[in-house]
Amino acid sequence: MIDKETKNRAKNYPIDELASRVGITLDRNNFCKCVSPNHEDKHPSMSLDRKNNIFNCFACGFKVDTIALVMTVLNYSFKQAVNFILGRGECDYAHNTLKPLKHPLKRVAVDSKELGEKYSDIYEYLITKVLPLPTENHYLCKERKISLRVLTENDVRDIHSENTWNYKDELLKVFPIEQLLKSGLIRLSKEDKPYLFFFKLFALTF
The whole-angstrom separation of Cα 79 and Cα 138 is 31
Residue 103 has pLDDT above 50, yes or no: no
Domains located in the chain, CATH noted = 1-91 (3.90.580.10), 93-206 (3.90.980)
Please report the pLDDT score of residue 115 as a whole number. 41
Q: What are the two backbone dihedrals, phi and then psi, of residue 40, each rounded to the nearest 5 degrees?
A: -85, 85
Q: What mean pLDDT is predicted for residues 190-199?
A: 72
Of these ranges, 18-22, 24-28, 65-69, 129-133, the one predicted with the greatest mean pLDDT is: 65-69
Confidence of residue 201 (pLDDT cuts 50, 70, 90): low
* Percentage of residues of the chain with pLDDT beyond 70: 79
Strand arrangement of the beta sheet that strand 31-32 belongs to: 31-32, 46-49, 54-57, 63-64
pTM of the shown model = 0.46
> Could you report the per-residue pLDDT of 34-74, keeping only the tens digit for each?
988 888 888 899 999 999 999 999 988 899 999 999 988 88
Average pLDDT of the chain is 76
Chain-centre distance of CA 59, in angstroms? 27
